Structure 1
Amino acid sequence: MPNHTLQIKVCGMKYRQNLQDLLLLQPDYVGFIFYDKSPRCIAEQEAVFDLDFPIQAQKVGVFVDEAVPVIREKASQGGLQVVQLHGHETPQTCRVLKEAGLVVMKAFRVGTDFDFAPLQAYAASVDFFLFDASGASPGGNGVRFNWELLQKYSLEVPYFLSGGIDLMHAAEIKALRLPHLYGVDLNSKFEVQPGLKDVPRLKQFVEELRG
């Protein structure tokens, strides 16, 4: 997969004007966190979801060990096309959501001794994996893991790279030769405060990655 086609996901959006500014950059995926322990939790759906999203910008809801009926309700209310599962969700949970017509992205936190073998059980039940760094929180920790570990990945499921990605990493990411790397997930390193993105810095990253 040519790296110039990498998809760009910006996660943890919370504020209406900030989101409106971001959408001008034509991101491919926009993430909203539905996890009340996160400082980026989106409480008022109607405050952002009535904006005009570019046709290619898919809305992603991020959930952590949430009940399937709640996920489906939030997806319906917010017009979410994708659900990102960032907890201990089982392959069965992923399959139920996929069969409900949602695109399913299952996140895993990668440490130095990460074993890719258990992911085989999810392969038929998800559309994407997302590999994030281990940290104190389920996501948004602002640290990266050793990307060389992804050389051990042998499944056919495409994945997003997450965890501490900053403006300085654009060239490095473009140079990666990882056949199933599908996109990058940008969050805390592009923030003024939790949930408020520095859109000019995001614009620089997007232009460099897509250039």
Structure 2
Amino acid sequence: MKLKVCGMKYKDNIKAVAALQPDYLGFIFYEKSPRNFDREIPEIPNNIKKTGVFVDASINFILKKQQQYHFRAIQLHGNETAEFCNRLRSELSILSDPPKPLDSNQSTTEIFKVFSIKDQFDFDTLKSYEGSVDFFLFDTKGKEKGGNGYTFDWSVLEKYPSTTPFILSGGIGLDEINKVKAILKTGLPIYGIDVNSKFETKPGLKNIEDLKEFKKLLVG
């Protein structure tokens, strides 16, 4: 089970979280977010996948950040279409080292597409994205684009019709660990757990001890 810690912002805190060896660290590039990232990322272990999080950004903007930070995953948190995802995948393939053939439909950078849920969700929405992204990410529909601090009704996922693996996000903290363990036993193709605001002392600053405890309980 993969663990992604999103909304990183402060240099020393990034290093401290990286020392816990999560699988992914997320950096948000969205000016309306209190976790908007506009600085340098300190050196972190190569096995941790740096993830750029974007909300309705242009492909050029994403590629610019990709060239700057060398992300191994891109998370699309807006209203991006399947066509947009395919175009982005092709452009990322060109940036790969070595470059991937344009017709390979693969890149060395994973693509996550976010869908926000509250009490219900039309899973037909996912059909056009099948094969265009590596993972879906289900988050809580709320006022903000992520970091709302509360979970959606996970029972909605019982009707998940796809084999595409997904990441579970939205208001997950220590209090939700038993709920997380329960859904992991359902046989759903859950690839990872994404955490953010429930582990913060302020936006972008993560509580290291709480994260350490959560990771211990998650894998224990």
State the TM-score, normalized to the length of structure 1: 0.93
| Structure 1 position 111, deviation (Å) | 2.0
Residue 17 of structure 2 is aligned to residue 22 of structure 1: yes
The 4+ residue runs of structure 1 with deviation greater than 3 A are none
Residue matched to 1:134: 141
Instruction: Name stretches of at least 5 consecutive residues in structure 1 with no aligned partner.
Output: 1-5
Q: Aligned with 1:87: secondary structure?
A: coil
Aligned pair partner of 1:85 in 65, 76, 80: 76
Q: Distance in 2 between matches of 1:113 and 1:179?
A: 17
Q: Quick check: 91-100 or 119-128, which moved more?
A: 91-100
Q: Aligned with 1:104: secondary structure?
A: strand
RMSD: 1.0
Corresponding letter in the other structure for 1:85: L
| Structure 1 position 147, deviation (Å) | 0.6
* Contact residue 120 and residue 156 of structure 2 kept, 8 A: no
1:130-154 per-residue CA deviation (whole Å, 9 max, x = no partner) reads 0001100111111110111111111
Aligned pair partner of 1:11 in 6, 15, 18: 6
1:91-147 per-residue CA deviation (whole Å, 9 max, x = no partner) reads 011112222223110001012131111101001100000000110011111111011
Percent of pairs identical after alignment? 46
* Contact residue 150 and residue 178 of structure 1 kept, 8 A: no
Q: Distance in 2 between matches of 1:175 and 1:114?
A: 21
Q: Aligned with 1:109: secondary structure?
A: strand
Q: Aligned with 1:135: secondary structure?
A: coil
Q: For CA contacts below 8 A with separation 6 or more, give which structure has more relative contact order.
A: 1
Residue 36 of structure 2 is aligned to residue 41 of structure 1: yes
Aligned pair partner of 2:197 in 184, 188, 203: 188
Map 1:1-211; keep pairs closer than 5 Å: 6-44=1-39, 46=40, 48=41, 50-51=42-43, 53-99=44-90, 100=92, 101=107, 102-176=109-183, 177-211=186-220
| Structure 1 position 175, deviation (Å) | 2.2
* Contact residue 25 and residue 49 of structure 2 kept, 8 A: yes
* Residue correspondences, number: 202
Q: Distance in 2 between matches of 1:24 and 1:77?
A: 23
| Structure 1 position 156, deviation (Å) | 1.3
